[in-house]
A and B are shown apart, each in its own frame.
Chain A
Amino acid sequence: MRLVHLEVERFQCIEKAELELGPGLNVLYGPNDLGKSSLAWAIRAVLLLQHNSVVHERFVSWCGDGEPRVALTIADDDERLWRVTKTFGGGSAGRSRLESSRDRRTFTTEATGREVDDRLRAMFRWGVQKPGGQGPRGLPESFLTQVLLAEQDSVRKVLFDTSLENDPDEAGRLRMVEALGALAQDPLFKRILDDTQARVDTAFTPKGRKKRTADSPFLAIVNEQNDLQAKQDDLTRRVRETEAADAKIRDLASERDRINTDLEEANEALRAARADLVVRERRAQLEAQLKDHEATIGGARELQERIDRLVAEGAQVRAAASAGEAAVREADGEATEAERALDAARGALDVLTHADVEQERRMTEVTAARDGAMRRVEAAERALAEATAALKRAEKIAAEVKDDAAAALRLEHRAGELERAVATARDERAASQQALERAKDRVREAHSAAKVQARALAQKEVANQRLQRRAARADAEARRKAAIEARDAARRASDAVKAVEAQKGEADRAAERAVAASAALAIAERGVERWRQLELVAAYREARATAAQLAKEEAAVADARAKAAELRETAATLRGSVAPGLPTAAEIAGLRELHVERRTAEARLGGGLTVTLRRKQPLPVTWEADGEALATPAGRAAVVVVAKQVLRLELGDLAELEVTAGEEDARRAATALRERWRQEAEPVLAAHGVAGVDELDARRREADEREREADRLECDASAQDERASRRPASGDLGAAEARRDELAAELSGADLEKLGDELSRLGDRWQASLKQQRDRSGASRDAAVGALEQARALAQQGQAELERLRTEAARLEAEAVRRGADLGEDWATVVDACDRALTESDAALLDLDRQEATLGAGSDDDQRAADAALRDATKSVEACGTRYDEQAEAWQRAREAAAAAASKLEGTRARARELAFAEEWAAQLASSSPVLPLARWQLAVREATGALDAARAVCAQAERQLTDSQAARAAAIQAARGAVKTAEEAFAKARDLRARRQDALKVAGDRSHEVELALKQAQLELAQSNVDAARQAATELRGQLAALPTLARSTDVDGVAHHEQQVARLTGHLREANDDLAKARGALEHVGGAIVREQLREVEQALQQARERARQVELEYDAWKLLLETLRASESSEGAHLGRALAGPVSRRFGELTSGRYGNLEIGAHLDATGLRVAGEVRELRALSAGTQDQLATLLRLCIAEQLRSAIVLDDHLSQSDPARVAWFNAVLRSAAQHVQIILITCRPAELLGRDEFQRAGEPAFVGAAGLLRSVDLTRVIQRFP
């Protein structure tokens, strides 16, 4: 800091002074009593003293008026100018202003008044006390003010009476520590301190606050924390929303589940109620059905009893009929037996007769056949003999051929011959073959002739017998056939009768079915009628209910309309009761405001009046205080009247006095307000007969309330009208009533109560049930009609068939009678006789067959013998064939040989003529027979001849037997004729008996038929009653009734309706709950859910870490700060450092000044000079001379100013120094002026300035030493008061 410019006005003796100050040594010189010290005081006062301090009085000029004024311009270390201007004085006279200028031209006010001193105090840090503090009055002082601005007579005070310890503020100490500390710091400590300071400076301002600038280490982390905190807050809010949504969903879901449960329970209750109702109705229905079935069973029981009686009667009748039938059968048996005996006798007779004639004729034929056969046997024998002979010749020829062939072979050389021989052999072979075939044919002819002959002989007799028997049998069969035809005719007639009966039964059954169908039809029609009635009842009930409902609704409409009219009437009454012309609420508020204003204005008048009247003569006086008349005592006594605002006094006829309280404005205001009140409020209040605004307001509110009530009533009326208008028109009621009456008329006579009960049993679904039952009954009726028509058609068909069968039966019966008449006897007897004859004939034929077989057997033997012979012959022929084949093979070989010899044919052709012999020989061979062994043929022929003889013998025996049988037959015929006669007599008796018994049987049959008809009728009725079905149905119904659950509670339709309402209500609640749940879920989808929680966790973690980092950073820099403070404190506590630091340069300079005479200066921790160390001992400073003390003090002050780099004011500091020391000091000061500004005020400038260093005339100052020396003649600067 250095002083730049000083202006002083009216300060002590100085009227005005102004001077510029240089940066180095400024020597301000002038004679005594010029006012030099006043300048020093002016500098001290402007820097240290408040403008209104009482001390200023010492600065007031003795000569002139006006307050002292000082303006000092200062340059700080940054060369910024600060101008302090103070006008000292009390009250408004004193002023302070602090201005600054960076351009050194224009100044800006920085502070005024007391703040100026605060700013200066902070700027200089001299350790002076705070203005207005508890310190001593007067000019504020401190160690540094003493050092830098000491008064002329206080030069030595810095050595003895002052130290930093006495400073009222630590600022001076700290400044000294800052300034002097570096002088004695350890390098390591200094580095530590600097590093620490650097760290602290990065985080804190010089005032120790945390930096908020961009380079602050706190800023980034704080910003990060803030960002994260904002995110956390946002996410927390969203999580809360999520949780709220979640909780709401849970609650709603729980509520929905609860409603669901309630709904299920309600549904269950409804189902149970419905089931109970169904059970109840079902029970009633079943009981009714059971009752019907029990009635049916009762009727059936009666029918059954009737049937039982008829059955018993029928059994008796049938027993009688059975007995009659047995008797008829017995008679029939007897008649049949007789008839059979008759037939047998007749048959036997006829058979015998016919057999005898036929047998004769057959015998003749057999004999003739036998003779023919015998002739063919003989012819066969002859042919056989011839064949045998031919065979022999053939054998001979063959032998010869063989020999010739051998000769031919031997005659090889005769090829021509051989060729011919071969041709001949071929021819012979063919001839032989033909001969063989012929022989075979002859053998076969002979064989068959023999066989036929033998068989004819054997069969002749048998055939005769068979013919006879067959004739007899054919006759019997013819008779039998006739009898059978008659019987069949009778049977057909009987069958026809039975068919008629059957058809009649069928017709009866058809009639029964028709009856049943008719009954069913009747039932079905009754059912249809019943269901129709039920429908009518239902329709009637519905129409009745509809009519009732409509009537009820119409009544409700009428009620609603009446209610609406009533409500409207009430509303009108209410509106009528409201006084017309009531002010509105706003108007009342205005009146109320006016009232308040008036009251307020009047209250302002309430100052209180007291009037004392002292009558000097009797005088009638009338008082009125605040509008209230007061009684006045007569006489001359003083009267004291007290009023608040207005006091009216009437003094007889003399005068009238009105005293009004309050100021004029208030009175006028009150009067105006009263006038307004009279004009605006009172007419309204009077019109409505109320005393005040409150009452009027109450009226208004009451009127409003009535209006609202009237509006509400009209709304209700409108709602009633709306409801009434929504109801159906009354015309519907008429139609419903007409329909009801129409149905009632249609149902007249019906048991409505019963039908209604029945309808009720059908339950809620009666319409469907009715339709179903009606359809079912209709279908039953249709089916019954169909069945009836079908039964009728069948009955008609049966009747026609019955008639046809009756006709056919009559025809057949007639035919049977005719056939019986043709037979001449009873057909059964004829048939039996024929059967017996046939049996006998069959037996005879069998016998003949056996005989024929016997005959056949003998012939077969012969035949077999002949066959055997033939087979032998065949074998022989085959053997011959074989041999022939062998020969043929040989011939083949020969031909081959001939072929071989053919080569030689040409050679032998010449000898062809010689072959004539061979040709002749070959002709002989051609006449010969084939070669066969005939011996066996001869033997076979002999055997066949023997067998033929035997057959002949048998034929003869049969002829004998035939003769015998003829005789026996004649005897049998005679006997048979007698038996026929006896049998005829027995047969006639049996037929009579049978006829009688058949009559009796017919009577019994008629009765049985009647009983059966009655029985069938009863059974039909029983069947129609369908009792079994009824019993079964009854049993089932009882079972169903028993199976029906027992109802623990009584449930009716209303109960079910209640449950249905409950279910409907809960269903509505459930729907609402589901809607709410859906909304809540929709809300949840927008709040974030798990993501927000996840992000929140992440941000919380990040925030926690950021906080931890912030804590670490804060801790780190707090630690740096603490370390710095601690380092400073330690450094400060080491006060010796300041003393030592300062003692060094002071002692050095003092040593130079005193030539080392006094040793080094000892300075204490508080910069208190404790003494001089001389030869190891510390001596007191007071022992020094006054001049030396001054010199030492000046050196100390100068050194401190140098360390502080602050201006220093030295006011005649070396007044007691010798010139040599002054000169020394002069040099020191000039040297120090290089670093610090020195304001030196002196009255002896010659000791300090050279000749040319004085201010010259016309110049504001002398400036030399490169601007570091400036001398000013104060006589030119200070303008003293005259």
Chain B
Amino acid sequence: MSRPEGDDVALRLLHTADWHLGRRFPSFDEADRTKLSRARLDVLDQILLKADHESADALLCAGDLFEEPDLEREWWEPVAKKLTAMRPRPVFLLPGNHDPLQPGSVYYPGHSFRRALPPWVHVVDRDDFEHELKEGAVLYACPCRSRAGQRDPALALPPRAPGDERIRIGLVHGSTFDAVDCQTNFPIAKDAALLRGFDYLAIGDTHSFRDVPPGARPPVVYPGAPEATTFGEPGAGNVVAVFVSQSRRVTFRPERVAYWTWSERMVRSLAELRALASEPHLARTVLRLVLDLRLTAPEMAEAEAILTELKGTAAAHGRAGILQVMRERMTLDTRGIEVNFADLPEVVRATVAQLQELERGDQAEVAREALFHLFRLVRAGGAS
């Protein structure tokens, strides 16, 4: 959607949500968890830069900014610092279902986070939150007070009064009518924005950019998470720039801010693996490789070498930013493996033969793996 002509724009907003600061990534190893957790905080700089670039009148943050309502200081203190160091501009922080407004939460009045925030940052800590964004434009918002609930937060906002011609922006967190489990996760009715007379309903919860339903008027938009949280979030990594004209016509567009790209790849041959390893831009990719391979021992050794190159070692960075390998369907083809041991002492050959015999029994997988161990030991011994 194109941006309207400058003179016609009455209100500029930057809409974001679902930062999930403090999120752990238990599927990854410790180093990668750290990278992914830190990325949540780093992307804030990009968001604030984008707000400057768009000259946004306000930054709307639609909930789930923190993974938990009562995170450690190491997570909320940098946020407060970044918001303090930013160019002054109204910022609205909305408690979501991950970080609901409860006693002890970072949003609760009296929390050190609240005290550390600059005056232009407003926390939505009232059900009847209302703020004049600028003359003729007003924001209404309602926070989540629990992790689950059936109350429609959008319908909890006041409707447009007769004769009220101001630009009305709604800011809530919940699941739209088309989402799974929406009935227990603050369901947002299909026509909530229309019923309440909003010109734009800024919402948060799902991690992919979506306008619900597409092309609806008034728009109801999920900006998605600025950094994806898992694989299968194709629209993640964006914020939404919103423009409202004098005639209250609304246009918006997603703007990419993410550093990481999440990619899940299926590899069915060694050639594919070789090709993938030579791809550029892997350094900013969270790569999940699902290996569906049946390889001979030398091929397997090569594949392992490639994976090591992608993953990196203690001594060298890997080519992929973050690598996760699914080896369930990666198997060793031991047929003819004895050829690799032909010139070796009898005892080694006897060991190979015995392992091959075991491979035909109950210990097939272990025996196969042992054969590959032996292959690598022999190869290492030969090399040395």
Contact = CB atoms under 8 A, between A and B. Distances in A.
B370 A1130 contact: no
B214 interface: no
B54 to A, nearest CB: 31
Nearest to B184: A1089
A808 to B, nearest CB: 71
Contact of A1084 (B184, B354, B380): B184
B374 interface: yes
Contacts of B309: none
Nearest to A1088: B147
Give the contact-size bracket for chain B. Answer: 35 or more
B37 interface: no
Interface string A410-437: 0000000000000000000000000000
B5 interface: no
A1129 B357 CA distance: 13
A1122 interface: yes
B185 A1089 contact: yes
B26 A1099 contact: yes
Interface in A1080-1130: 1081, 1084-1093, 1098-1099, 1101-1102, 1105, 1108, 1112, 1115-1116, 1118-1120, 1122-1123, 1126-1127, 1129-1130
Given A188-B345, A1116-B369, A1123-B374, A1089 B147 contact: yes
A191 interface: yes
10 contacts: A249-B183, A1085-B147, A1089-B148, A1089-B181, A1091-B97, A1105-B326, A1115-B365, A1118-B366, A1118-B369, A1123-B374
Interface in B341-384: 344-348, 350-351, 354-355, 358, 363, 365-370, 372-374, 377-378, 380-381
A1127 B147 contact: no
A1123 B351 CA distance: 8
A285 to B, nearest CB: 44
B150 interface: yes
Interface of A: 186, 188-189, 191-192, 195-196, 199, 228, 242, 245-246, 249, 1081, 1084-1093, 1098-1099, 1101-1102, 1105, 1108, 1112, 1115-1116, 1118-1120, 1122-1123, 1126-1127, 1129-1131, 1133-1134
B334 interface: no
A651 B19 CA distance: 111
A542 B378 CA distance: 113
A1085 B146 contact: yes
Given A1088-B147, A1116-B369, A1126-B355, A192 B26 contact: no
A1093 B181 contact: yes
A1131 B350 CA distance: 9
Contact of B377 (A195, A1098, A1131): A195
Contacts of A1122: 355, 358, 363, 366-367, 370
Contact of B350 (A246, A1105, A1119, A1130): A1130
B97 A1123 contact: no
A191 B381 contact: yes
Given A192-B381, A1089-B184, A1122-B366, A1134 B348 contact: no
A186 B345 contact: yes
A1128 to B, nearest CB: 9
A1084 B148 contact: yes
Contacts of B324: 1105
Given A1090-B148, A1090-B175, A1120-B373, A1134 B27 contact: no
Given A189-B348, A249-B150, A1126-B370, A228 B355 contact: no
B319 interface: no
Given A1085-B149, A1090-B181, A1098-B230, A1119 B373 contact: yes
Q: Count chain A CB atoms within 10 A of each CB in B347, B363, B372, B374 and give the residue with the most.
A: B347
Interface in B146-185: 146-150, 175, 181, 183-185
* Majority-rule SS of A interface residues: helix
**Which A-B residue pairs are the 10 nearest by beta carbons?**
A1089-B148, A1119-B369, A1102-B26, A1085-B146, A1119-B370, A1123-B370, A1090-B185, A1130-B350, A186-B345, A1130-B351
A592 to B, nearest CB: 58
B72 interface: no
Contacts of B26: 228, 1098-1099, 1102
A1129 B370 CA distance: 14
B109 to A, nearest CB: 21
A277 B322 CA distance: 80
B98 interface: yes
B134 interface: no
A1073 B129 CA distance: 32
Contact of A1126 (B27, B346, B354, B377): B354
B181 A1134 contact: no
Given A1084-B184, A1119-B369, A1120-B373, A188 B355 contact: no
Q: Count chain A CB atoms within 10 A of each CB in B147, B185, B378 and give the residue with the most.
A: B147
Interface of B: 26-27, 97-98, 145-150, 175, 181, 183-185, 230, 324, 326-328, 344-348, 350-351, 354-355, 358, 363, 365-370, 372-374, 377-378, 380-381
Given A192-B378, A1112-B327, A1134 B370 contact: no
A1081 B150 contact: yes
Contact of B381 (A188, A1084, A1112, A1130): A188
A1131 B347 contact: yes
A245 B230 CA distance: 28
A189 B373 contact: no
B373 A196 contact: yes
Contacts of B346: 1134
A189 B352 CA distance: 12
A1199 B346 CA distance: 26
Given A1085-B145, A1085-B149, A1131-B347, 12 more contacts: A188-B344, A188-B378, A195-B377, A228-B26, A249-B183, A1081-B149, A1086-B147, A1087-B148, A1089-B147, A1090-B148, A1093-B181, A1123-B351
Given A1130-B347, A1131-B347, A1115 B148 contact: no
Contacts of A1134: 346-347, 350
A1088 B345 CA distance: 64
Contact of A1085 (B148, B328, B370): B148
A1116 B373 CA distance: 8
Contact of A189 (B27, B345, B354, B370): B345
Contact of B355 (A1090, A1112, A1123): A1123
A242 B327 CA distance: 34
Contact of A1108 (B328, B354, B367): B328
Contacts of A1112: 327
Contacts of A246: 183-184
Contacts of B345: 186, 188-189
Given A1091-B147, A1098-B26, A1126 B358 contact: yes
A1086 B149 CA distance: 9
A189 B341 CA distance: 12
A250 to B, nearest CB: 8
Contacts of B365: 1115
A1085 B147 CA distance: 6
A1130 B230 CA distance: 49
Contacts of A1088: 147-148
A164 B213 CA distance: 83
Given A1091-B97, A1130-B347, A1130-B354, A1123 B147 contact: no
Contacts of A1093: 181
A1092 B148 CA distance: 9
A718 to B, nearest CB: 46
Given A1090-B148, A1090-B181, A1090-B185, A1133 B373 contact: no
Q: Count chain B CB atoms within 10 A of each CB in A191, A242, A1127, A1131 and give the residue with the most.
A: A1127
Nearest to B174: A1090
Contacts of A1120: 370, 373
Contacts of B368: 1119
B154 to A, nearest CB: 17
